[in-house]
Amino acid sequence: MTDLAHRAGSPAVATRASSGTVATEPPGLVRPVVKQPVPRRRPVTLALRVLVPIGIFGLWWLLTATGAIGPTTLSSPSVTWSTVITLFAHQDLLGDIGISLARAAVGLAIGGSIGLLLGIATGLWRLGEELLDSSLQMLRMVPFPAVIFLFIVWFGIGETAKVALIALATLFPMYLNTANGVRNVDRKVVEAARSFGLRGRRLVRQVVIPLAMPSILTGLRFSTGISIIALVFAETINANQGIGALASQASALQNTPVLVVCIIVYALLGIFADLLVRALERATMPWRRHLAVR
């Protein structure tokens, strides 16, 4: 008993490891317990992802079925589905979707590329930041719908004005996130790469862009969402084809079911664009999946 009391009161407590050796630990030392995240099964993940959309659909069906919302305000799910079938059968709904998607993709490609280059320039070189950043920050505060009529004067009412509006809207999210990502690249890594002879394009391609990739993909994700929002405004510029043209015709005729279909199509295009960026993230940065809190 005295031996145990003596050992308990000593400044270091002897502990015996499984191998038979004796190790001492300072009193009051707490060993951190790292809890490894347990990944959810795929069916559970899918169920959680569709839970909110199913709830929204159920509320939509309930409000329209009980008459709480009239058919002139919001069409019921059954009427909306019948309208989708009619548009596919008697109108070129698939062609309109393809045209709208092409406009958004071209505008995103142009605006995203310009934003990427400007972000690299301002993030990597102080001269680029001094020359460009203040002007771009000023232009960023101009709402892109405000320049629609100016673009009509410059580019006419054809496809150029529509694509230019989408490109302008998607440029700034890509620029901001890219510049932030490049600025946060560890300068010691950049200097080490320069000491090994990397300069110019090789330095940017092999060192800067890979390290800034998380921010760049975040900017791309924002830009894809903005491209769909800008598409809605762009297709108000004398569009004869596309979802915007279909929505304009439905609005003139006060055709609520067609308007609801157009809104749903825009939402699905946004989800599709976001899924593409998520797939790109998984392909380029597979290690990030293990860092997510589950």
* pLDDT, tens only, 180-190: 888 888 778 87
* Integer Cα distance of 162 and 240 in angstroms: 12
* pLDDT, tens only, 58-91: 888 888 888 788 777 888 888 888 888 888 887 7
Quick one: pLDDT at residue 153?
83
* Integer Cα distance of 71 and 63 in angstroms: 10
Range of the domain at 216: 83-291
User: How many residues does this entry show for the chain?
Assistant: 294
Provide Rg for the chain, Cα atoms: 28
Count up the domains in the chain and report the number. 1
Buried b (16+ CB within 10 A) or exposed e, 230-259: bbbbbbebebeebbbbbbbebeeeebbbbb
In a domain, 53, yes or no: no
In a domain, 14, yes or no: no
In a domain, 43, yes or no: no
pTM, to two decimals: 0.73
- The answer to whether 257 and 83 are in contact (CB under 8 A) is yes
Distance of CA 286 to the CA centre of its chain: 17
In a domain, 142, yes or no: yes
Q: How far apart are the first and last CA of the chain?
A: 48
- The answer to whether 274 and 19 are in contact (CB under 8 A) is no
* pLDDT, tens only, 97-130: 888 888 889 999 999 999 999 988 888 788 878 7
* Integer Cα distance of 56 and 71 in angstroms: 18
In a domain, 224, yes or no: yes
In a domain, 50, yes or no: no
Asked whether residue 146 carries a pLDDT value surpassing 90, the answer given is: no
In a domain, 37, yes or no: no
In a domain, 63, yes or no: no
**What's 97's domain CATH number?**
1.10.3720.10
Average pLDDT, the chain: 78
Task: Spell out the residues 6+ positions from residue 241 whose beta carbon is closer than 8 angstroms to its own.
Answer: 95, 96, 99
Asked whether residue 37 carries a pLDDT value surpassing 70, the answer given is: no
* 160: Cα within 13 Å, side-chain hemisphere: 8
